[in-house]
Amino acid sequence: MTGTDQHRRIGKFELHELIGEGAMGAVWKAYDSVIRRYVALKILSGAVGRTQDARARFLREARAAGGLQHRNIVTIYDLGEADGQLFIALELVDGRDLSELIAGQEPLTLERKLDIAIDVLQGLAYAHGRGVIHRDIKPSNVRIASDGSVKIMDFGIARLQTADITGSGAIVGTPTYMAPEQITNGPITPATDLFAVGCLLYELLSYRKPFEGETVHGVLYQVLTTDPKALRAMVPSLPLALERVVAKALNKVPEDRYETARHMQSALSSIRAALSGASELTARLTPRWTPLPDAALRLVTHMSLKWRAAVLTALMVTALVLLYVSRSPSPVAAPLGTDATATVDQLLAYPLPAGLNAALTAQRDSALAARDRAHRAGAMKNNVPSLLLAETVLQNAERAVRAGDQAHAASGYLSAVAQYGKAQHEADGVRREAQQAIARATPVVHALATRPEAGRAGTSLARAESLFVAMDFTLAKLAALDAEQVGVAAGVAPPSPQPLDPRAAIAVLLQDLERAVSSERVANLRVLMPGMVEQDVAGWERFFRRYTRLTARYAVEAVTVRGDEAHATVRTLYTYVPAPGGAQSESRLRQAIRFIKTPDGWRVADIRDLR
């Protein structure tokens, strides 16, 4: 940025007032010196768009969002790059974020709360109709203008936030409003936004988040596995129909949520109308009996009782026949192979056409074998990204073979083999991540010993191990990370990942040992020295009581490795300040350290001083 006499500038914008800062960057009240109007200028942080591809993708998606012109969406005026920084110029909306109203538990009427949700859904319905999914609906992205209008913010940058800022796949911001498919890398659809609206409405109605946990990964686990507490248990005055609308929006399965934003909006509008005393809709939908024509009634009433009974009996029989015919299946049903609603498993269960080409049969068998391998690797259970494409390709191939289109069937089977191979590889990767997470959490939990946090961490770790055995690797990883976070919050540091080479692994282990000694926590030493007995614990506790401001440095003189055991001679330097006070001192020692290889990596077996 370059300075001016009064204001800093970025391109044509004068920066007047800092509105807020976050992971994505800073938002300024700025003056567009060309068009001569005030805007909200979002200057994105340097972490955004680190590569040219990322910057190009951001600009492409932000331009798509910039085409949205709706009264419930904050308008994007301009976007681009100036002075080496990406920026978005937005409509400046005077008002407050919905998150502020919720945090302050503003006394809003139920009608007003529903109006807010309905306006959000109107904006989303417009965006979804143009192929734009928000991906990050939450109270802080909903602006309540001073005139009462509702506007959705941050269209076009949510995907960048989740993909580009966190190169390691970490989660930015609160995960409370993330749909299960976002956590498991499933397909993102308009139903993803509707889940977030359900979370937002739940919080707006109860002033409590639907999913809460002590750690980020604990919240993610809740989103994937548990249903939130019933709304009417917290707010008994809410209509039952409203509770059902929120529960449907919060369904774990995207297909079981509302089909579109307009459908959910319609459901809320009906409840809103009922609260206002409107009865027209109810009257219009009430079933009514259509009377028989007057001519028919006169004909019946002038007949004798015997003929009246005959006519009524004939009418009854006719009605029953019509009812039976309307409910009976069509005698000429479409073959299952051409049924667009048939699932892969249904198609596979249907007999193959007679006289099928032997080569095509072999290709089909290869595709089914690849599907079975992916299934046994956990691809289906963990809903890995390539699985949906693999299942779709196989489904189309099965339809083609039953329709007699062998060329398309053969091409589909070959493609399915490759896609199922990718799905198997992705499932193996998810399994390894879960395994590593459990390996990191295990020593941390054990190091907690009898501390108050040990029970909760142990429960999460046991859950992770059980889920891993059940091949639910995604949930197993989250449960293990939750256990690890409990330990970290209690001051126990997990061991660092170790390379395969034993000598390199021991070097990493010694660095962890330096940090553990410097932390002056016996629990951190127990992570690295799982064989510690009570006598060792007591010795280290005395050591930490005697000295403060400890640092440790280990310089390796020699290392020998034999199988799962290794020995090292090290020069050790301790610097410290005596507990009673005084100047900093140091001690230099030569020590022999024995290491053992465990399923969780190399660990320290014992340390002894050398003379």
> Could you give phi then psi for residue 534, rounded to 5 degrees?
-60, -35
CATH number at residue 79: 3.30.200.20
Q: Hey, how many other C-beta atoms are within 10 angstroms of the C-beta on 23?
A: 12
C-alpha–C-alpha distance, residues 471 and 382, integer Å: 8
Radius of gyration, CA atoms only, the chain: 33
Q: For the chain, give the number of residues.
A: 611
- Range with the largest mean pLDDT of 22-36, 73-87, 464-478: 464-478
Please determine, for residue 92, whether its predicted confidence score (pLDDT) is greater than 50. yes
Q: Which two tokens stand for residue 509?
A: 């282990």
C-alpha–C-alpha distance, residues 165 and 146, integer Å: 33
pLDDT tens digits along 72-89: 998 888 888 887 778 888
Q: Which of these three, 64, 92, 120, is where a domain ends?
A: 92
Lowest mean pLDDT segment, chosen from 53-62, 115-124, 411-420: 53-62
Residues 490 and 504 in one domain: no
> Could you give phi then psi for residue 311, rounded to 5 degrees?
-65, -45
pLDDT tens digits along 474-522: 889 888 888 888 887 777 878 888 888 999 999 999 988 988 888 888 8
Residues 606 and 551 in one domain: yes
C-alpha–C-alpha distance, residues 29 and 19, integer Å: 6
Q: Which of these three, 44, 74, 92, is where a domain ends?
A: 92
Residues 123 and 211 in one domain: yes
C-alpha–C-alpha distance, residues 91 and 76, integer Å: 6
Which pLDDT band holds residue 3 (cuts at 50, 70, 90)? Answer: very low
Residue 287 resides in a domain: no
Q: How far is CA 10 from CA 44, 88, 89, 153, 413, in A?
A: 12, 11, 11, 22, 55
Residues 407 and 488 in one domain: yes
pLDDT value, residue 310 = 63
CATH number at residue 520: 3.10.450.50
Total domain count, the chain: 5
C-alpha–C-alpha distance, residues 436 and 468, integer Å: 11
Please determine, for residue 294, whether its predicted confidence score (pLDDT) is greater than 60. no
Query: Using an 8 Å Cβ cutoff, are 179 and 233 in contact?
Result: no
* Owner of token pair 């073959």: 335
> Could you give phi then psi for residue 106, rounded to 5 degrees?
-55, 140
Question: What are the residue numbers of the active site?
Answer: 136
Residues 340 and 489 in one domain: yes
Domain of residue 486, residue span: 335-494
Q: Pick the residue with more confidence: 49 or 100? A: 100
Residues 339 and 211 in one domain: no
pLDDT tens digits along 316-338: 766 665 656 555 444 444 454 45
Residues 477 and 530 in one domain: no
C-alpha–C-alpha distance, residues 529 and 483, integer Å: 19
Residues 126 and 259 in one domain: yes
Sequence-distant (6+) residues with CB within 8 A of 194 are: 124, 249, 257, 258, 261, 264
C-alpha–C-alpha distance, residues 301 and 308, integer Å: 8
Residue 330 resides in a domain: no
Q: Which of these three, 494, 523, 552, is where a domain ends?
A: 494
Residue 93: name the closest of 44, 142, 133 by CA: 142
